[in-house]
Amino acid sequence: MPLRIAIVADDHGLYRMGLALTLRDRLGFDVVEEAASLDEALALLGETDDVALALFDLSMPGMRGAASLAAVRECHPGLPIAVVSGSDARGDVLEALAAGVNGYVPKHLRDDDLVAALRSIMEGAIFVPPTLASAAARSRDEPARPPEAPDLARFTPRQRDVLDLLMQGHSNKEIARALDLGHGTVKIHLAALFRHLGVNNRAAAVAVAAPLLARG
């Protein structure tokens, strides 16, 4: 029987360790890989086969909210992904859901409620805290926010490294080799770059980023 593997990405070490223990003891995971930043989590996703669940904090280093989550979802469409966050702000919940996560779990939930929430996500449900469950429905009646203009300052250092090599015409394989990253990790970084720049391919990304880099 294959191992059941989860990834927990959170920069608070004690909470990360406690969540890993819960995943092993209460939800039957054999292996729980831990990451303290988005880049570490992406590297684990690129290196680890058959991950059954990935949990992300919203405030850890490298995380850029919905754009980062959407990039992970695009590159791992079948992976159960959930936010486990200290924030229960309505806007954070809605942005995470719009990015395609399978659930939003506040850290203040009691242990039994946390286990029930994670179990429901693994069974294919979309989990939202009961107090916020109506937020997604209400958001349909709100006017859409205008798209944000691209801002290179919002990229993580690793995303800037990937962008610099992309601008130089390097392939995904060459970028992976130069930065010592897995191919899957490079794809996730590129997906995040494309989303923030408002493009869907490499050539368009170069065209949009060139004037921004010139100004910077």
Task: Write out residues in the chain with pLDDT < 50, as ranges.
Answer: 133-141
Q: Structural domain boundaries of the chain?
A: 5-139, 152-215
pLDDT for residue 100: 86
Mode of pairing for the β-strands spanning 51-56 and 103-106: unpaired
The whole-number pLDDT of residue 7 equals: 97
pLDDT score at 149: 62
User: Is 5-139 in CATH node 3.40.1390.10?
Assistant: no
Please give the CATH architecture assigned to the domain spanning 152-215: Orthogonal Bundle (1.10)
Predicted TM-score of the model (pTM): 0.71
- Look at residue 216 in the predicted model and tell me its pLDDT: 58
Per-residue exposure over 134-158, b if at least 16 CB sit within 10 Å of its own CB, e if not:
ebbeebeeeeeeeeeebeeeebbeb
Q: Which pLDDT score is estimated for 135?
A: 46
Rounded CA-CA distance 191/202 in Å is: 10
| Contact by Cβ (8 Å): 96, 63 | no
